[in-house]
Structure 1
């Protein structure tokens, strides 16, 4: 009798454990199972839905209007579980300090992306420091508008500004800031837009900061577009499908309805989605118009073309046809930052990260011109430093944009693009000749003795190359950096120099601060930024100052959590 009773008890325990396991698989908890019986199993989908899904899986594409019928109903669980952290970032070492006597020339492609700043902000607002590889300092610097003066009428599509100022990072060093301001365009005279939206609707996009936020962002963008612009929508999950054929923005209700029908579920055939999106863009291709695909995703491609090199080759071929690619990243836990950066660079487009509705407004409303309308393609910068005046240099950021010296004059080498009204900023940390701040010993048998024979009045010679959109040949611009470009003190430097310096120092601190002196830290960043905040119409600079406080707190917390060294 005792054994029989014991067996019944054990059977009851096993049944309770089984129910608990089921609850955990669907996001429930053991406490909820103890109080509430499990819900009944959902009814099987109707035959028409099953048949539609099978047709999609076999054909790899859906006709317009089939998408809503083919997708399963949204899951009953309202709150998605906290995602496992599987974000992917490219492992890149910071640019090293270089001796001018050994390597006087620095060459790189410009970068107008801003994804890193918004992604870093997301980490800091969660109370943790971002991974170092998530910090691309040039994207943090270029997040802000530095109000460089507009190019003169009738001149080149952008203007260049160079400033030398004492560095606050370490005594005895200087910062050389290169600013490029793109010409804005008259909204009434802008070309029409043929835009294909490629929306990731895989299961990983279910949470509120992914697909629901993407749909809100697109509605903000539609309000900024003209009635004659056209919108197409394609989606991808387990297969790619067409949701909306090329439709004029004047039919806004039809576009809204297509967006509202989007639901998340399935695996992620991103490569196949890109094929379909480019096909739709080609259907609506307009001469003398902006033809672009905009990808909205968390970057988790796991079906179809998943190899990054194959994707880059495909996108590169499509770029030559005049269809560019921009990327908007969403969410956390599954964010493939490395892949998003590569395909955006290859597609002559921008990469942004949207973590809030406010950021969506900045990217797709306030900065829409810079993200949609190119004014210069393949923009490259090459700087030759004069060994008579500069002993060492280090480019801050742009590690993924470095080019070989010979690439500068090779018009077949792809580089970054500047959109209407956009600006680009690059900062070099330099050490003047004779400064005690030099980090590398000079060569005993180097050619320093001949340095005095060179043009001692110049610090550096800056060269830029760009192509007018769609043109095969580049145009060269030059600027000799002399004492006329030098500020006597950092306080006397233009406001844009001081704020950009604060952002650069912020990025350096997040990456470990190895190139910063002992006297520069979070407080110095805040003071420098506060003194250069200016009007700050949308509060972005005030937010930056607050982020520096969050970063300081997160750094202190991380130090407390580190295990004590073994004795």
Structure 2
């Protein structure tokens, strides 16, 4: 039967028909529904056999429903039979469909708009009272016309418009933050490995990231927690060197471990000479600013621009500033300009806008070129990279970028990194660039952090006093059975690297404080995890007379900023100077121990399982000492947040 024949028969049925009864209408609707279900079953069977017909139709509107019905010729016969039995119900049903259906001679595959219709009062009330979903940051809410199966008594006309699905969350942002996965330093047996060697510096990026995570109500992952950066976020009152001839002075102390009464902590503190306070050198700075599309967020480029303006307040009139921006390509936004011309520098900062891809390698190359062009042999020459680290155009291989940075640092230009934002934050790459550029890495999560890093601690951030700083600790087997270094997992060196001046290591800035902690186990301690070897051979040479009075010795090797040959400092760890009780240790010792416990607990390390959040907070609160900027008080509050995020678990 053709469409034309069907039209003629329907026209005849519509003439001189008696009034319809409710029973006839119900019978017609039931029969039509049965015919429709039969046609759908055949369609599904054909699909399983590999039918090529397009079945991606929507029940979201009457037009979609009738397009399915009209494309099933088998169903037409069943509908027509029902119309003969109940002419009035069928005629009215088809007439309504003909008024709403589109011209079937059009392409059946063409998209049809979903027509909005007011739902029935009962349905509207239910939809209004239903809970509304909440979209996460960066997502959006869309309405989707997904209808649940109708009740048997519901009219078919306008069905999909009356029953609409709830709002659903789509487009949730993908978290692409990248951190290097590192395992905690393991326990070492002194008789087998008496020497521990690592590179030391004063990076602080991890602390700001951890703080941001906890303030957002989520615990950081273990890979995001670098314990040494948490410890070194805080200034310490260790004695400073008396002159620049020796750029820093080590302070070593030993005291009981707060999380294990049967072990001790060895704290190695280094205080850098504050040469800025004596004779501040001139600075040749190049701000290398990422203005790619990934920086288009309030906590990225706008915060970056405000941070750079804060740094301008610490520069002297004879310093020079240049700005290189990079997105799809690199360009010079400001040629080297005297810092006294703050209006011109601020205007260049204000002109920066985000957009495009990220050609990071091209920007780095251009920044180094500009720094070399304005090189000051008597001053400090530094590139300051400000980015989220999302390099996606040009050279982005970490190994290739590392080689580029290593080659460039030989010119005397150092590289520091300021990280911003989350979602695309590439911490792993930025740590690598800073370490190989003889610089430090900081993370700016708020303007107060920029104030701390770039204003209050500008000397440490900009003016180096020593480079390639390495620490080597030799433990005495007679006093120390086992030991482990807390943190510095990404800074470990081989024993032979200590005296090899070709091996790169960390940088220490003017007036900086740097701390490292070892947990040691005495030979007779109940905490000892390993037994003495049955067939261990005695040492080839007897220990020196002073050896029994020492836990070990600390060696520090470093180069002056413009030197190629290293110098060495040796400091013994004397047993007689060990504090007998935790309360007898200094404020700095106890506070650094509290921060170390906090970091280990965030990393879920078993050594601190028995120490609760409240104990950590109490230890830190009792060791705040002089805290003019409130950093230590802020840490105590942060421990409380960590407890809340963990669900109140001890």
User: Per the shorter chain, which TM-score range?
Assistant: 0.7 to 0.9
Instruction: Note if contact 1:490-1:498 (Cα within 8 Å) is conserved in structure 2.
Output: yes
Aligned equivalents of 2:533 and 2:116: distance in 1?
A: 77
Identify the match of residue 266 of structure 2 among 173, 176, 194: 176
SS of structure 2 residue aligned to 1:318: helix
> Counterparts of 1:497-516 in structure 2 under 5 Å?
497-516=589-608
Aligned equivalents of 1:291 and 1:332: distance in 2?
A: 29
1:272 aligns with 2:362: yes
SS of structure 2 residue aligned to 1:280: helix
> Counterparts of 1:44-83 in structure 2 under 5 Å?
83=173
Gaps in structure 2 of 5+ consecutive residues: 1-94, 104-110, 118-135, 145-170
1:190 aligns with 2:291: no
- Per-residue deviation, 1:456: 1.3
Aligned equivalents of 1:311 and 1:221: distance in 2?
A: 27
Taking a change above 3 Å as real, the CA distance of residues 312 and 227 of structure 1, as seen in their structure-2 partners, is same
Instruction: Note if contact 2:285-2:321 (Cα within 8 Å) is conserved in structure 1.
Output: yes
- Per-residue deviation, 1:82: 7.2
1:551 aligns with 2:649: no
Taking a change above 3 Å as real, the CA distance of residues 8 and 512 of structure 1, as seen in their structure-2 partners, is farther
Residue 239 (structure 2) aligns with: 149
Identify the match of residue 114 of structure 2 among 13, 19, 33: 13
Residue 332 (structure 1) aligns with: 422
Instruction: Note if contact 1:299-1:335 (Cα within 8 Å) is conserved in structure 2.
Output: yes
Instruction: Note if contact 1:101-1:448 (Cα within 8 Å) is conserved in structure 2.
Output: no
Instruction: Note if contact 2:139-2:172 (Cα within 8 Å) is conserved in structure 1.
Output: no
Residue 482 (structure 1) aligns with: 574
Identify the match of residue 30 of structure 1 among 132, 142, 154: 142
Residue 139 (structure 1) aligns with: 229
Larger Rg: 2
Aligned equivalents of 1:350 and 1:161: distance in 2?
A: 22
1:122 aligns with 2:212: yes
Residue 293 (structure 2) aligns with: 203
Aligned equivalents of 1:438 and 1:5: distance in 2?
A: 88
Residue 339 (structure 2) aligns with: 249
Residue 349 (structure 1) aligns with: 439
Aligned equivalents of 1:517 and 1:186: distance in 2?
A: 43
Aligned equivalents of 1:239 and 1:535: distance in 2?
A: 48
Deviations 1:401-422 (A, max 9, x none): 0000000010110000110000
SS of structure 2 residue aligned to 1:245: strand
Taking a change above 3 Å as real, the CA distance of residues 163 and 267 of structure 1, as seen in their structure-2 partners, is same
Taking a change above 3 Å as real, the CA distance of residues 82 and 145 of structure 1, as seen in their structure-2 partners, is farther
1:158 aligns with 2:248: yes
SS of structure 1 residue aligned to 2:573: strand
Aligned equivalents of 1:168 and 1:394: distance in 2?
A: 15
TM-score w.r.t. length of structure 2: 0.74
Taking a change above 3 Å as real, the CA distance of residues 100 and 14 of structure 1, as seen in their structure-2 partners, is farther
SS of structure 1 residue aligned to 2:595: helix
- Per-residue deviation, 1:398: 0.3
Aligned equivalents of 2:245 and 2:372: distance in 1?
A: 33
Residue 540 (structure 1) aligns with: 631
> Counterparts of 1:95-110 in structure 2 under 5 Å?
95-110=185-200
Deviations 1:261-309 (A, max 9, x none): 1101111111111011111111111111100000000010010110000
Q: In terms of mean alpha carbon deviation, does 401-410 or 181-190 score higher? A: 181-190
Aligned equivalents of 1:273 and 1:8: distance in 2?
A: 57
Taking a change above 3 Å as real, the CA distance of residues 431 and 11 of structure 1, as seen in their structure-2 partners, is same
- Per-residue deviation, 1:171: 2.0
Residue 36 (structure 1) aligns with: none
Aligned equivalents of 1:442 and 1:103: distance in 2?
A: 14
Residue 522 (structure 2) aligns with: 432
Aligned Cα root-mean-square deviation (Å)? 2.3
Number of positions where the alignment pairs a residue of Structure 1 with one of Structure 2: 503
Instruction: Note if contact 1:101-1:446 (Cα within 8 Å) is conserved in structure 2.
Output: no
SS of structure 1 residue aligned to 2:608: coil
Deviations 1:344-401 (A, max 9, x none): 0000000000001000000000011001101011110000000000000000000000
Identify the match of residue 463 of structure 1 among 555, 563, 570: 555
Taking a change above 3 Å as real, the CA distance of residues 7 and 170 of structure 1, as seen in their structure-2 partners, is farther
Gaps in structure 1 of 5+ consecutive residues: 17-23, 33-80, 560-567
- Per-residue deviation, 1:322: 0.2
1:495 aligns with 2:571: no
Deviations 1:133-163 (A, max 9, x none): 0000000000000111211236511010000
TM-score w.r.t. length of structure 1: 0.85
Instruction: Note if contact 1:296-1:330 (Cα within 8 Å) is conserved in structure 2.
Output: yes
1:417 aligns with 2:529: no
Residue 524 (structure 1) aligns with: 615
Aligned equivalents of 1:15 and 1:199: distance in 2?
A: 48
Which of the pair has the greater relative contact order for Cα pairs under 8 Å at 6+ separation? Answer: 1
Q: In terms of mean alpha carbon deviation, does 475-484 or 340-349 score higher? A: 475-484
1:442 aligns with 2:532: yes
